[in-house]
Structure 1
Amino acid sequence: MSHIYSTSRLCRAVQLALLGSSAMIMTVQADALALSETAAPERIQVTGSRILREGAVAPSPVTVISGRELIETGAMNIGEVLNVLPSLAATYSLANSGRFIGTAGLSLLDLRGMGSSRTLVLVDGKRHVSSSAGSAAVDTNAIPTAWIESVEIITGGASAVYGADAVTGVVNFKLKRNIEGFDVHALLGTAEDNPYRNHKLTGSFGTNFAQDRGNFAISAEVSGQRGMNATQRRQTRTSYMAVRNPADGDYRDADGNWVHDGIPDSITVANAGWYDSSTAGNFYLVSEAGSVDWFIFNPDGSVRPQDLGTTYGQWGRCSECEFLDLRRYNDLQPAFNRFNVNSKVNFELTPDTLIYAEAKFVRSKGDSEGQPSFFEYDSALMVGRDNAYLDPSLVQLMDSYGINEIEVHRFQEDAGRRLENNTRTTSRFVAGIEGSLGLDWSYELYGVFGETKLEQINRNNLIRTNFAQSIDAIVVNDEIVCRDELARANGCVPTSIFGDNAINAAARNWFNTNSYSNSTIRQTVFSGHLNNSGLFELPAGYVGVSMGAEYRKEESESVPDSFAATGATFLNSLQYEKGSFEVNEVFAEVSIPLLADLPLIQDLVFDAAVRYADYSTIGSAVSWKTGLDWHLNSQLRARATYSEALRAPNIGELYGPQNQTFFRVTDPCGVDQVQSETRRINCLALGIPADFDPQATASTIEGLSGGNPSLTEEKSTSYTLGLVYQPDWLPGFSVTMDYWSIEIDDAISSVSAQNILNKCVDAETGINNQFCALIERNNQNELVLITSITQNVAALTAEGVDFELGYDFDALGGRFNTKLIGTYLDSRKTFSFQDSPQEFDQYAGTVGDARWQANLSISYRYHAWSASWKTRFIDSASLYRQQELAINPDPSDIMSYGSYFVTDLRMGYEFANGVQLAFGVDNLFDRSLPGVTTGTTATTASYHNIGRFYYTSVSYSF
Structure 2
Amino acid sequence: MNVLRRKTLAKAIQLSLLISLPGLAAAQDAPAPAAANPQATTLDTVTVTGSRIKKAEVEGQVPVRTLSREDIERTGLTSIGDVVQQITGSGSGFNRTRNASGNDGFPSDGGGTGAGSTTVDLRNLGTKRVLVLVDGMRWVNESSASGVGAAVDLNTIPLAIVERIEVLEDGASSLYGSDAIAGVVNVITRRNFDGAQITLNYGQYEPGDGQSTGVDLAWGGLSDRASWFVGASYYDQEEVASKDRARTRDPVFGTGLALGSSRVPGGRFRFVDPRNGGAYDLVTDPTLSNPTYTPGLPNCTSAGADRADGFRCWLASRDAFNYAPFNLTQTPSERAGLFGQFRFDVAENVNWYARALVNRRESLNQAAPEPIDLGPGSGTAFASNVVIPVNHPFNPFGFQLDSSNILTIRRRPTEGGPRLFGQQVDTTYFGTGLEGAFDVGARSWFWDVNASYSTNEAEQENRGSYNIKNIVTALGDPAVCAATAGCTPLDIFGFNTITQEMLAYISPVFRDRSENTLTQATANLSGDLFDGWAGAVSFATGYEYRKYEGSYDPDPQTVRGEYNGVPSLPTSGEYDVNEVFVELNVPLMADSSWGKKLELNVAGRYSDYSTFGGEFVPKYGLRWQVADELMLRGTFAEGFRAPSIGELYGLGTRFDANIVDPCLGSNYAANAANCAALGVAPGQPQFDPQISVETGGVETLEPERSQSFSLGFVWTPSLFENSAVARRVDIEGTFYKHRIEGAIQAPDPQTQLNLCVQTLDPQYCNGIVRNGATDQIESFSNFLANFNVIKTDGWDFDVFWTLPESSLGDFKVSWQNSWVGNYEAVGGDGSRQPLAVGLLVSDPVTRSIPKWQSTGTLEWNLNNWSAAWTARHISDLVESCGDAADFPICRNNPAPGLNRLGSTTFHDVQVGYKFDWMKGLQLLVGANNVFGKDPPVCLSCNLNSFDGSTYDLPGGGFYYVRADLRF
2:5 alignment partner in structure 1: none
Following TM superposition, by how much is the alpha carbon of 1:35 offset from its aligned partner in structure 2, in angstroms? 7.2
- Alpha-carbon distance in 2 for matches of 1:828, 1:598: 41
Q: Secondary structure at the match of 1:895?
A: strand
Following TM superposition, by how much is the alpha carbon of 1:852 offset from its aligned partner in structure 2, in angstroms? 0.6
Structure 2 unmatched runs, 5+:
1-15, 106-111, 293-297, 307-312, 722-727, 841-847, 886-891
Alignment of 1:315-330 (within 5 A): 318-319=316-317, 321-330=318-327
Cα deviations across residues 156-184 of structure 1 (Å, max 9, x unaligned)?
23111111210111011112222211111
Following TM superposition, by how much is the alpha carbon of 1:430 offset from its aligned partner in structure 2, in angstroms? 0.8
Check conservation: 2:26, 2:796, Cα contact below 8 A.
no
Following TM superposition, by how much is the alpha carbon of 1:828 offset from its aligned partner in structure 2, in angstroms? 0.5
Following TM superposition, by how much is the alpha carbon of 1:70 offset from its aligned partner in structure 2, in angstroms? 1.7
Counterpart residue identity of residue 91, structure 1: G
* 1:339 pairs with 2:312: no
Following TM superposition, by how much is the alpha carbon of 1:571 offset from its aligned partner in structure 2, in angstroms? 3.2
Following TM superposition, by how much is the alpha carbon of 1:938 offset from its aligned partner in structure 2, in angstroms? 10
Which of 883, 908, 911 is the equivalent residue of 1:907? 911
Distance 1:39 1:547, change over 3 A: farther
Q: Secondary structure at the match of 1:110?
A: coil
1:228 alignment partner in structure 2: 240
Cα deviations across residues 276-327 of structure 1 (Å, max 9, x unaligned)?
431122335779797856332437733499997799xxx97733x2321121
- Alpha-carbon distance in 1 for matches of 2:305, 2:347: 82
Alignment of 1:927-946 (within 5 A): 927-932=933-938, 940-946=948-954
Check conservation: 1:44, 1:53, Cα contact below 8 A.
no
2:451 alignment partner in structure 1: 447
Distance 1:302 1:863, change over 3 A: same
Check conservation: 2:747, 2:827, Cα contact below 8 A.
no
Check conservation: 2:81, 2:155, Cα contact below 8 A.
yes
Q: Secondary structure at the match of 1:879?
A: strand
Q: Secondary structure at the match of 2:762?
A: coil
- Alpha-carbon distance in 1 for matches of 2:538, 2:653: 50
Which of 100, 110, 116 is the equivalent residue of 2:121? 110
Which of 197, 206, 227 is the equivalent residue of 1:215? 227
Which of 837, 842, 853 is the equivalent residue of 1:844? 837
Q: Secondary structure at the match of 2:855?
A: strand
Check conservation: 1:185, 1:203, Cα contact below 8 A.
yes
Following TM superposition, by how much is the alpha carbon of 1:407 offset from its aligned partner in structure 2, in angstroms? 6.5
Which stretch has the larger CA shift, 297-306 or 710-719? 297-306
Q: Secondary structure at the match of 2:719?
A: coil
Which stretch has the larger CA shift, 56-65 or 42-51? 42-51
Following TM superposition, by how much is the alpha carbon of 1:550 offset from its aligned partner in structure 2, in angstroms? 0.6
Distance 1:155 1:674, change over 3 A: farther
Which of 718, 736, 740 is the equivalent residue of 1:740? 736
Q: Secondary structure at the match of 1:668?
A: coil
TM-score by length of 1: 0.85
Distance 1:40 1:233, change over 3 A: closer
Following TM superposition, by how much is the alpha carbon of 1:897 offset from its aligned partner in structure 2, in angstroms? 0.6
Following TM superposition, by how much is the alpha carbon of 1:395 offset from its aligned partner in structure 2, in angstroms? 6.7
Which of 699, 705, 712 is the equivalent residue of 1:715? 705
Q: Secondary structure at the match of 2:961?
A: strand
Q: Secondary structure at the match of 1:462?
A: coil
Check conservation: 1:383, 1:407, Cα contact below 8 A.
no
1:120 alignment partner in structure 2: 131
- Alpha-carbon distance in 2 for matches of 1:310, 1:54: 79
2:861 alignment partner in structure 1: 861
2:724 alignment partner in structure 1: none
Following TM superposition, by how much is the alpha carbon of 1:428 offset from its aligned partner in structure 2, in angstroms? 0.5
Cα deviations across residues 524-545 of structure 1 (Å, max 9, x unaligned)?
111011111x332223222111
Distance 1:300 1:930, change over 3 A: same
2:217 alignment partner in structure 1: 203
Distance 1:234 1:42, change over 3 A: closer
Q: Secondary structure at the match of 2:174?
A: helix
Instruction: Flag the structure with higher strand content.
Output: 1
Check conservation: 1:528, 1:550, Cα contact below 8 A.
yes
Alignment length (residue pairs): 881
2:360 alignment partner in structure 1: 363
2:289 alignment partner in structure 1: 301
- Alpha-carbon distance in 2 for matches of 1:752, 1:233: 32
Counterpart residue identity of residue 347, structure 2: T
Distance 1:95 1:14, change over 3 A: farther
2:926 alignment partner in structure 1: 920
Which of 585, 590, 596 is the equivalent residue of 1:602? 596
Which stretch has the larger CA shift, 713-722 or 805-814? 805-814
Distance 1:556 1:686, change over 3 A: same
Distance 1:64 1:915, change over 3 A: same
Which of 499, 503, 507 is the equivalent residue of 2:498? 503
1:245 alignment partner in structure 2: none
- Alpha-carbon distance in 2 for matches of 1:923, 1:149: 26
Following TM superposition, by how much is the alpha carbon of 1:739 offset from its aligned partner in structure 2, in angstroms? 0.5
- Alpha-carbon distance in 2 for matches of 1:485, 1:384: 12
1:475 alignment partner in structure 2: none
Check conservation: 2:26, 2:732, Cα contact below 8 A.
no
Distance 1:754 1:228, change over 3 A: farther
Following TM superposition, by how much is the alpha carbon of 1:894 offset from its aligned partner in structure 2, in angstroms? 4.9
Counterpart residue identity of residue 762, structure 2: N
Following TM superposition, by how much is the alpha carbon of 1:808 offset from its aligned partner in structure 2, in angstroms? 2.0
Alignment of 1:269-668 (within 5 A): 269-274=255-260, 276-284=262-270, 294-298=282-286, 301-303=289-291, 318-319=316-317, 321-376=318-373, 378=375, 379=378, 386-389=391-394, 408-438=409-439, 439-471=443-475, 483-485=478-480, 487-488=482-483, 490-532=485-527, 534-668=528-662
Check conservation: 1:27, 1:735, Cα contact below 8 A.
no
2:888 alignment partner in structure 1: none
Check conservation: 2:304, 2:315, Cα contact below 8 A.
no
Check conservation: 2:64, 2:167, Cα contact below 8 A.
yes
Counterpart residue identity of residue 375, structure 1: I
Check conservation: 2:768, 2:777, Cα contact below 8 A.
yes
Which of 706, 717, 722 is the equivalent residue of 2:696? 706
Identity %, equivalent residues: 27
Which of 4, 18, 30 is the equivalent residue of 2:21? 18
Check conservation: 2:266, 2:283, Cα contact below 8 A.
no
Cα deviations across residues 758-799 of structure 1 (Å, max 9, x unaligned)?
343456xx5132x32232223243211112222101111110
Counterpart residue identity of residue 873, structure 1: H
Cα deviations across residues 428-468 of structure 1 (Å, max 9, x unaligned)?
01101111111421111100111111112122331223223
- Alpha-carbon distance in 1 for matches of 2:945, 2:758: 25
* 1:165 pairs with 2:179: yes
Check conservation: 1:604, 1:630, Cα contact below 8 A.
yes
Distance 1:422 1:755, change over 3 A: farther
Q: Secondary structure at the match of 2:508?
A: strand
Cα deviations across residues 885-909 of structure 1 (Å, max 9, x unaligned)?
9xx9987565221101111111111
Check conservation: 1:747, 1:796, Cα contact below 8 A.
yes
Check conservation: 2:817, 2:855, Cα contact below 8 A.
yes
Following TM superposition, by how much is the alpha carbon of 1:928 offset from its aligned partner in structure 2, in angstroms? 1.1
Following TM superposition, by how much is the alpha carbon of 1:702 offset from its aligned partner in structure 2, in angstroms? 3.0
Following TM superposition, by how much is the alpha carbon of 1:734 offset from its aligned partner in structure 2, in angstroms? 0.6
Distance 1:855 1:39, change over 3 A: closer
Which of 44, 47, 50 is the equivalent residue of 1:45? 47
Q: Secondary structure at the match of 2:784?
A: strand
Cα deviations across residues 545-595 of structure 1 (Å, max 9, x unaligned)?
111111111111112212221111213332121111111100010111101
2:780 alignment partner in structure 1: 786
1:872 alignment partner in structure 2: 872
Which stretch has the larger CA shift, 862-871 or 771-780? 771-780
- Alpha-carbon distance in 1 for matches of 2:42, 2:91: 40
TM-score by length of 2: 0.85
Distance 1:656 1:495, change over 3 A: closer
Q: Secondary structure at the match of 2:218?
A: strand
- Alpha-carbon distance in 2 for matches of 1:292, 1:395: 12
Distance 1:453 1:542, change over 3 A: same
Counterpart residue identity of residue 800, structure 1: G
Distance 1:634 1:515, change over 3 A: same
Q: Secondary structure at the match of 1:484?
A: helix
Which stretch has the larger CA shift, 152-161 or 371-380? 371-380
1:264 alignment partner in structure 2: none
Following TM superposition, by how much is the alpha carbon of 1:832 offset from its aligned partner in structure 2, in angstroms? 0.8
Q: Secondary structure at the match of 1:591?
A: strand
Cα deviations across residues 858-897 of structure 1 (Å, max 9, x unaligned)?
221111111111111110111159xxx9xx9987565221
Q: Secondary structure at the match of 1:563?
A: helix
